[in-house]
Structure 1
Amino acid sequence: MTEPYDISLTDLRPTQWMQEITQLGDAFGFFEPLGDDHNAVFVEQGDTLLVSFEALPAIQALSKTARPVGFDIANVEGWSCLSVIASQDTWFRDGDVYGFFDQMTDDGFFEDFDQVIFYGAGPCGYAACAFSVAAPGATVVALEPQATLDPNVTEWDDRFTEMRKLSFTDRYGYAPDMLEAAENAYVVYDPHKPLDAMHAALFARAGITRFRARHLGGGMQAHFEQMGILQPLIKSAADGTLDAKDYAQLYSKRRDYPSYCKRLFGAVEPMDRPFLSEVVCSHIVNNFGGPRYRRKLKAIRQARHAQDTGET
């Protein structure tokens, strides 16, 4: 194997998948188990390091090649990649994970790179923010992250109550505080998801830029990948050019993304704004088709015609 990021890991059971990743790490960097639920694999390729936090079930469900998304992003850019992989959604609240990042800091591992970028989404976005403190001066990109699951702070979030048994008050705990040493941090969230928006509000502090991904819903990483903007987003953040204008240009690709357009129509249809509903529905029909939306568009136009002509 001469191209580590080109490995295909499809149709493998978790144990087989881990065996392949272990061999990959041993050949091109290192592989290190972090207790029972976490593992770290490092591939050395370039002077920029991408640290990605991922969960194995999501990797196997969302990637056609069953590769960590960090591998694919690093491959495009010629970066090194350190992927910290959980067996499930753990928020990486584990002493072995803490110890690993402590050791990386003590060894000066992150100092060997010209630039370090931390990335994750959801629970992994929380981890990207929390553990970025191990590499002062890093850039952080987090999609729909939680700030903490400590019920004393976020008792209003009832989605993950079973995780409240974990401690979010010890080391690497409160994600917004852990970003104080970052060079730049970017948090992306959907303001129409109230709980995600409330978490995002906890990140409102100096040095953290928040971007809105309206009407996108959950699973933001998968949506961004399908829109083709995940890799450019992280690259722009790494280059230090990611601002409101740059983000708006990237997110404008949502207009060509069927899932977003259909979700948008679902939001405007009950609003009793027939012109807006017609515009969105017409866009869906003209660009993506679909008999359901053709019927809806026909009904909207008939209702508008009846209103204009005074017919009942």
Structure 2
Amino acid sequence: MQDKPQTFETPPMVDLDKAAWLTRLADVAEEHGHFQPLGKHHLAAFVDAGATLLVSFETLQGIRALSERAQPLGWDCVRTLGWSSLTLISEGDTWFRDRNVYGYFDRLIDDGFFDEFDTIVFYGAGPCGYAAAAFSVAAPGARVVAIQPQATLDPRVTEWDDRFTEMRRISFTDRYGYAPDMIDAADRAFVLYDPEVTLDAMHAALFTRPNVTKFRMRFMGSAIQSDLIEMNHLVALLDRAANGTLDTTSFARLMRDRRDHPPYLRSLLAAIDRQDRPWLATMLCRNVLARRNDAPRFARRLKQLEREAQDGNFAIPPARL
């Protein structure tokens, strides 16, 4: 079976309340594949379309906030790439540490579900990135794309991470537990993070494996998934991971667009200001304003820098720079 864009008619779900949204999700999944609740806090929705399968882990709240259509990321891949989509959805951040989820993957393995696909990509961000890595062991040879994943929240390993202390009573040592070990069977795994976000970088260090490529996205902050969606690059990133063309060079080319992405530019300016480098800040402001007409923050900052230079606080760079 070849992947090709599908006629996947799914009206936007943005105006639905939670109950109606879940009903619509279930109806679409049952029409095109299957839908299954997994206990009180998780569910699975499968759309059968192509020979490539995206297994995405998402939260209900994230789907409704990040998607313009209030639909799972995998459905975009069905429409644009002709892939199949298996979406695991949680109510809030659970890291998918639930025996009902374990059992669901056990059944998929027993049924030979993953054997039906030529290429499989596991994807998630943050707690969902942890899950993508952890459950990828169910499909040896899969590719994994994990954005800012946690390796584990077992306090004996990551007691330094104080962001999720409420999860320390949850077991990360039983089945599908330590995510870096679970990706050993993956063909390739890609971990995206900002090294300036210290705790994310510390988790990323635990994913050091021969089959892991790390993409350091400096100054992108703690919402990399949202930035990739806003730049319309997330699906392209997954496509490259699936077809084997994702590497340091292709990723760098894709990320050149961040030079026109306002959140990145603001983060970069803030970092330069923290380093007290007014010359470099002046050059950045001039560069942004030469390319963009909608950058009032950079215009204000440039005027401030020019006033400071006139007061003798520093030598302003020549205008041609």
| Both proteins in one fold, TM over 0.5 | yes
* From 124, 128, 141, the counterpart of 1:124: 128
Percent of aligned pairs with the same amino acid: 51
Unaligned runs of 5+ in 1: none
Q: CA offset at residue 300 of structure 1?
A: 1.2
Matched, 1:238 2:218: no
Asked if 1 retains the 8 angstrom alpha-carbon contact of 2:279 and 2:315, the reply is: no
Aligned to 1:227: 231
Q: CA offset at residue 308 of structure 1?
A: 4.3
What amino acid is aligned across from residue 75 of structure 2 in structure 1?
F
Aligned to 1:19: 23
Aligned to 1:58: 62
What amino acid is aligned across from residue 30 of structure 1 in structure 2?
H
> Cα–Cα, structure 1 residues 73 and 13, in superposed 2: closer, same or farther, change >3 Å?
same
Asked if 2 retains the 8 angstrom alpha-carbon contact of 1:73 and 1:231, the reply is: yes
* From 114, 121, 136, the counterpart of 1:110: 114
What amino acid is aligned across from residue 119 of structure 1 in structure 2?
Y
CA-to-partner distance for each residue in 1:190-237, whole Å, 9 max, x for gaps? 000000000000001110111011111122111001112111111111
TM-score by length of 2: 0.92
Aligned to 1:289: 294
Aligned to 2:271: 267
What amino acid is aligned across from residue 302 of structure 2 in structure 1?
L
Counterpart Cα distance in 2 of 1:49 and 1:292:
43
What amino acid is aligned across from residue 92 of structure 1 in structure 2?
F
Counterpart Cα distance in 1 of 2:178 and 2:295:
45
Root-mean-square deviation (CA, aligned residues, Å) is 1.5
Asked if 2 retains the 8 angstrom alpha-carbon contact of 1:5 and 1:71, the reply is: no
Aligned to 1:173: 177
What amino acid is aligned across from residue 206 of structure 1 in structure 2?
P
Structure in which a larger fraction of residues adopt helix: 1
> Cα–Cα, structure 1 residues 300 and 96, in superposed 2: closer, same or farther, change >3 Å?
same
Aligned to 2:319: none
> Cα–Cα, structure 1 residues 290 and 115, in superposed 2: closer, same or farther, change >3 Å?
closer
SS at structure 1 position matched to 2:50: coil
Q: Where do 1:82-101 residues align within 5 Å?
A: 82-101=86-105
What amino acid is aligned across from residue 309 of structure 2 in structure 1?
R
Counterpart Cα distance in 2 of 1:40 and 1:280:
46
Counterpart Cα distance in 1 of 2:50 and 2:298:
48
Aligned to 2:198: 194
* From 299, 307, 311, the counterpart of 2:304: 299
Q: CA offset at residue 279 of structure 1?
A: 1.6
Matched, 1:72 2:76: yes
CA-to-partner distance for each residue in 1:147-196, whole Å, 9 max, x for gaps? 00000000000000001111100000000000011011000000000000
Unaligned runs of 5+ in 2: 1-5, 317-321
Equivalenced residue count is 308
Counterpart Cα distance in 2 of 1:66 and 1:246:
29
Asked if 2 retains the 8 angstrom alpha-carbon contact of 1:31 and 1:41, the reply is: yes
Aligned to 1:163: 167
SS at structure 2 position matched to 1:6: coil
